[in-house]
Amino acid sequence: MSLLPDIGLITVLLASGVRLATPIGFAALGGVLAERGGVYNVGLEGMMLWGAFGAAAGTYLTGSPVVGLVAGILLGAAAGLLLALLCVTLAVNQLVAGIAINLLCAGLTAFLARATFGLAGGGTAVSGFAAFPIPYLSGLPVIGPALFSQDPLAYMLPVLVAAVAFCMYRTQAGLRLRAAGESPRAADSAGVNVTAIRYVSLALSGACAAAGGCHLVLCQVYIFSEGMSAGKGFIALAAIILGRWHPVGAVVAALFFGLCDALQLQLQFSNPLVPYQIFLILPFAASLVALVWFNGGTRQPAATGKVFDRESR
């Protein structure tokens, strides 16, 4: 009987970890797409926030969370295209451009939230997607509530990961994407339009990151607030490296960080006399330790971060 509370705690931690890992997983998947194509997407944090605002505004104005989800994803894709314009066409430093995207999205969402919701920082509750337990499977001990009692977007993530992994490593389009990130000069010589590949990869990257922001609004808190991405986009960058720029690896790393986030929440509730700020650093500290511990032997795509100019030889 003494094991029952422990099993219950493990079940709660796993279920919370999966839910908290989902937005990080979407953003990490988007980052993999961008970096495999040869562009750093440091703007994942801002794109998540932009998607969260789009989801909240779309749902608030229409009453439909489906419309909100589509609006958020489209805004994220637009932010990805803006980053592509800066990095691919205008050859702006990719790290600087990503930081600019983060600042732009933070400022725009703060302004537009006040204009849309009429409250400082946003504050109007919106409808969203409820948890959808899968019959029979949700009743399994421990893993049932963790894996099969989630919201629709959480179910969508592994399907999307499998689709991206298949396309990236089993299709001609995926080969072209990886070639653009490894050796754009050779890809261009083989007739691949590297510029188009990078534009598409960044649009998809922004859409995926925005889907993570949509999950925050439509499946977790049902409200938009300024800065609600709260560093999850930066944790996604760590997940990309920890996952060795592979779609599955990045999302598994995101799950690890989600579990760390769930653990720090549990520690806050269990230790009310301890300042909660101490526990808040746990996911970020875990990302730092994991990167140092597991970073050996990792190699990013060779051309990531480098400007490609067809005219230069």
277-290 residue pLDDT tens: 788 888 888 888 88
CATH assignment of 19-294? 1.10.3470
pLDDT of 8 strictly over 70 = yes
- What does the alpha-carbon distance between residue 106 and residue 104 come to, in Å, rounded to a whole number? 5
pLDDT band for 310, please (50, 70, 90 cuts): confident
Comparison of pLDDT for 203 and 298, the residue scoring more: 203
pLDDT band for 120, please (50, 70, 90 cuts): low
For the residues of 37-106, what is the DSSP string, one character each?
A: TT---TTHHHHHHHHHHHHHHHHHHHS-HHHHHHHHHHHHHHHHHHHHIIIIIS---HHHHHHHHHHHHH
**How much is the mean pLDDT over the chain?**
90
Selection from 147, 99, 96 nearest residue 307 by Cα? 96
Phi, psi torsion values for 275, nearest 5 degrees = -55, 130
For residue range 210-227, what is the model confidence (pLDDT) as tens digits?
A: 999 999 999 999 999 989
For residue range 102-116, what is the model confidence (pLDDT) as tens digits?
A: 999 999 999 999 888
Name the least confident of 72-81, 131-140, 273-282, 300-309: 273-282
pLDDT of 151 strictly over 80 = yes
pLDDT of 199 strictly over 60 = yes
Question: In the numeric block, which tokens belong to residue 64?
Answer: 């439909």
Q: What is the pLDDT of residue 91?
A: 92
For residues 204, 151, 249, 213, the Cα torsion angle rounded to the nearest 10 degrees is 40
Q: What is the pLDDT of residue 209?
A: 98
E strands in the chain: none
pLDDT band for 4, please (50, 70, 90 cuts): very low
Q: What is the pLDDT of residue 60?
A: 94
Q: What is the pLDDT of residue 122?
A: 56
- What does the alpha-carbon distance between residue 144 and residue 155 come to, in Å, rounded to a whole number? 13
pLDDT of 119 strictly over 80 = no
Q: What is the pLDDT of residue 3?
A: 47
